[in-house]
């Protein structure tokens, strides 16, 4: 291509286009990076109304500084922050590494240069604003600052050094003058570019929706909340035939997916309304299947599929279908209740030996016989009934639950379905096959009832009436806290689990640390009762047991000094010494 034609073509390009062109071939780079190409860069810059190129930068450097988004050090893309005075664009990591205080850079040149204020004026400091009069706090971009320092130190003539400093001071003053102007222009340019991109993206969206409506799709079909849909539509570029041919099949797949999503969402809302208007006792309502289970009923699963492609159905069809699944719902409720009873009975069959008459007599008789109910209290409503829901999707399933709490953990979908949840409705299946019972909870609850002089068929509602009134008598009186019935049982299980895990660690690590099970159930000493201090957060702190740590026994949390001291006394049977307590 003749040179004059190349110059004419290049003069109609933007500075960023010239940079990309210079990176495409060695010949173009040689032409555009030479001094003879300066008019081309100037024309491209003037077409955008840019300020004049600063004297300390070349035209290509100026264009790269303003229009590229790469970090000057690590080449990380999408770096938005520009330091106009320092003439550099850095990511956060490189900013911390390469923007260094002056004294740290000058330390290697000698102590006298650290206090030489003239050196600190050779280059603009961080952001071009000296926020403090103490120049030792000014920060500089090391790759730019270090060569100037070396040149300053290398001067042997004082006059030459003064001349150099004067030239640099003048250059720094010009940078401080044109830096704010450049920043204002760049902010305005970015605002104009964002507005233009938004308009272009909006026009593209309108064009796509108009073409889809021409194919027979409705406004409702095009109301899609999906990132994949947004990525195809919301782009600042025009819609040409090639792009339309490429994205149309992907758009139609998403539209069909959202027909299924809307069908499931409507069924979900109708079933939720049905549950809210259900007139029955609380237990029966809680036993109702979750949406995941309902959708697996054949009549519900095929509702709306008889009306392709949009899978719509009428209110009458819903009522008819709901009447058809009543037998399935009844069977589900029976199975769910049976699963709870089976898990509980299985746990009771493997309990440790009988509690013993000494404990059954009760060390604290409670005169509430009129509230106890009848000996035929259903197993699931007793104070010893604790179940677990083995569901990794629900953090609440990691602890024990009462029967009512378990039934309350219904797996209803959100107001807006996701394509992932619709692709696998099996993931929403309810609790029936995930219920289990930990024998420790049942065993400890029975011991507590015997300790309080209450029968094993005591209803859960009775012990829940006492709220935060129970306390563990095996804990030190200094750290004894009031707890609910459920919290008391959980506390005792945690103590027993700690002893088992700690003992196992000692065996594995072959340590001889003395470890006492102060919550041993077979001991006839009292287990629980009423009283104690109100529950507070003062048990947490930054202390831990150094004896446990040295033996390889891990602590989940740091505790207060009072708790650690009581732990050492009760678990290790010794008075805590200074070396026994660690601090984080």
pLDDT at res. 355: 54
In terms of average pLDDT, the best of 194-203, 365-374, 453-462 is 194-203
Q: Count CB atoms within 10 A of the CB of residue 384.
A: 23
> In this predicted structure, what is the pLDDT of residue 205?
94
Task: Please name the residues in contact with 321: beta carbons below 8 A apart, sequence gap of 6 or more.
Answer: 299, 300, 303
How confident is the model over 173-184, as pLDDT tens digits? 888 888 888 889
152 vs 36, more confident: 152
Quote the percentage of the chain above a pLDDT of 70.
86
Compute the average pLDDT of residues 255-260: 90
Looking at the chain, the number of H-run helices and the number of E-run strands are 26, 11
114 Cβ neighbours under 8 A, 6+ residues apart: 102, 103, 106, 107, 136
What is the CA angle 551-554-557, rounded to 5?
A: 140
- Region 329-333: mean pLDDT is 89
- Tens digits of per-residue pLDDT, 108-118? 888 888 888 88
Task: Give the pLDDT band of residue 351 (cuts 50, 70, 90).
Answer: low
The pLDDT value recorded for residue 536 is: 63
**Residue 524: its pLDDT value, please?**
77
| Nearest alpha-carbon partner for 337 in 430, 442, 438 | 430
Q: Is 218 in a helix, a strand, or coil?
A: coil
Phi-psi region for residue 318, left (φ > 0), alpha (ψ -120 to 50) or beta?
Answer: alpha
Given pLDDT bands bounded at 50, 70 and 90, which one contains residue 416?
Answer: very low
Judge residue 444's burial from the number of C-beta atoms within 10 Å of its C-beta, 0-12 exposed, 13-18 middle, 19 or more buried.
buried
Contacts made by residues 353-358, CB under 8 angstroms, sequence distance 24+: 355/446, 355/447, 355/450, 356/524, 358/524
In eight-state DSSP terms, residue 484 is -
pLDDT of residue 195: 94
What's the CA angle centered on 281, arms 276 and 285, to 5 degrees? 45
The answer, yes or no, to whether residue 458 has pLDDT greater than 80, is yes
**Comparing 510 with 134, which gets the higher pLDDT?**
510
Residue 521 banded pLDDT, cuts 50, 70, 90: confident
Confidence label for 414 from pLDDT (cuts 50, 70 and 90)? very low
Which residue, among 39, 143, 136, has the nearest Cα to 86 in the 3D structure?
143
Q: Which two tokens stand for residue 55?
A: 């004297």
pLDDT in the model for residue 278: 86
Mean pLDDT, the chain, rounded, equals: 82
Mean pLDDT of all residues in 239-267: 91
Let me know if 542 is exposed, middle or buried by CB neighbors in 10 A (0-12, 13-18, 19+): exposed
Q: What is the pLDDT of residue 245?
A: 94
* Residue 99 clears pLDDT 60, i.e. is over it: yes
Backbone torsions φ then ψ of 544, nearest 5 degrees: -150, 165
**Residue 54 and residue 34: Cα distance in Å, rounded?**
18
Tell me which of 148 and 531 has the higher pLDDT. Answer: 148
Residue 545: which H helix or E strand, with range?
strand 540-545
Q: In 3-state terms, what secondary structure has residue 432?
A: helix
Q: What is d(CA 485, CA 465) in angstroms, rounded to the nearest whole number? A: 9
Per-residue confidence (pLDDT) for residue 420, from 0 to 100:
52
Residue 313, pLDDT score: 86
**pLDDT at site 356:** 52
- Residue 197 pLDDT greater than 90, yes or no: yes
The SS3 assignment for 470 reads strand
CA angle, corner 449, sides to 374 and 484, nearest 5?
105
- Helix 3-10 crosses helix 38-46 at what angle (to 10 degrees)? 30
- How do residues 117-140 score in pLDDT, each as one tens digit? 888 888 888 754 445 567 777 888
d(CA 217, CA 166): 72
DSSP single-letter state for residue 542: E
Give me the pLDDT at residue 391, please.
62
């Amino acid at each position: 291509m003749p040179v004059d034609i190349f110059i004419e073509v290049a003069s109609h390009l933007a500075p960023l286009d010239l940079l990309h062109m210079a990176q495409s071939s060695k010949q173009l780079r040689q032409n555009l990076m030479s001094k003879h190409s300066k008019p081309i860069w100037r024309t491209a810059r003037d077409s955008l109304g840019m300020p004049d190129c600063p004297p300390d930068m070349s035209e290509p450097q100026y264009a790269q500084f303003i229009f590229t988004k790469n970090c000057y050090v690590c080449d990380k893309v999408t770096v938005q922050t520009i330091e106009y005075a320092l003439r550099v664009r850095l990511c956060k990591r490189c900013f911390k590494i390469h923007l260094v205080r002056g004294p740290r850079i000058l330390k290697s040149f000698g102590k006298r240069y650290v206090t030489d204020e003239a050196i600190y004026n050779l280059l603009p400091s961080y952001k071009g604003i000296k926020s403090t009069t103490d120049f030792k706090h000014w920060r500089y971009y090391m790759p730019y600052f270090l060569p100037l320092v070396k040149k300053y130190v290398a001067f042997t003539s004082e006059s030459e050094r003064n001349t150099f400093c004067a030239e640099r001071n003048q250059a720094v003053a010009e940078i401080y003058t044109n830096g704010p102007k450049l920043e204002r222009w760049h902010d305005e340019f970015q605002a104009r570019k964002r507005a233009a991109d938004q308009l272009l993206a909006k026009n593209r969206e309108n064009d796509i929706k108009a073409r889809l409506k021409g194919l027979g799709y409705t406004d409702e079909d095009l109301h899609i909340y999906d990132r994949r849909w947004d990525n195809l539509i919301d782009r600042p570029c025009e819609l040409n035939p090639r792009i339309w041919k490429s994205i149309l099949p992907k758009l139609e797949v998403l539209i069909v997916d959202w027909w299924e999503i809307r069908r499931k969402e409507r069924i979900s809302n109708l079933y939720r309304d049905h549950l809210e208007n259900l007139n029955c006792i609380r237990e029966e309502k809680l036993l109702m299947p979750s949406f995941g289970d309902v959708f697996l009923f054949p009549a519900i699963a095929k509702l709306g599929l008889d009306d392709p492609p949009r899978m719509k159905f009428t209110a009458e069809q819903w009522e008819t279908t709901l009447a058809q699944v009543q037998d399935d719902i009844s069977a589900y409720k029976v199975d769910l209740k049976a699963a709870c009873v089976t898990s509980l009975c299985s746990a009771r069959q493997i309990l440790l030996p009988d509690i013993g008459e000494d404990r059954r007599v009760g060390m604290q008789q409670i005169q509430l016989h009129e509230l106890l109910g009848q000996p035929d209290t259903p197993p699931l409503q007793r104070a010893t009934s604790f179940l677990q829901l083995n569901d990794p999707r629900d953090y609440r399933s990691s602890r024990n639950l009462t029967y009512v709490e378990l039934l309350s953990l219904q797996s209803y979908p959100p107001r807006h379905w996701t394509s992932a949840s619709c692709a696998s409705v099996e993931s929403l299946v309810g609790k029936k096959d995930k219920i289990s019972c930990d024998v420790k909870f049942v065993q400890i609850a029975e011991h507590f009832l015997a300790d309080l002089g209450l029968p094993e068929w005591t209803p859960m509602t009775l012990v829940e009436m006492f709220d935060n009134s129970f306390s563990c008598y095996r804990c030190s009186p200094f750290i004894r806290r009031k707890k609910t019935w459920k919290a008391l049982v959980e506390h005792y299980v945690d103590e027993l689990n700690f002893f088992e895990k700690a003992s196992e660690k000692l065996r594995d690590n072959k340590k001889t640390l003395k470890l006492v099970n102060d919550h041993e159930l077979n001991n006839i000493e009292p287990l629980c009762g009423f009283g104690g201090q109100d529950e507070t957060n003062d048990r947490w702190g930054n202390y831990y047991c150094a004896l446990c740590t040295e033996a390889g026994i891990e602590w989940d949390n740091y505790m207060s000094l009072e708790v650690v001291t009581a732990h050492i006394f009760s678990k290790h049977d010794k008075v805590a010494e200074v070396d026994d307590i660690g601090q984080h």
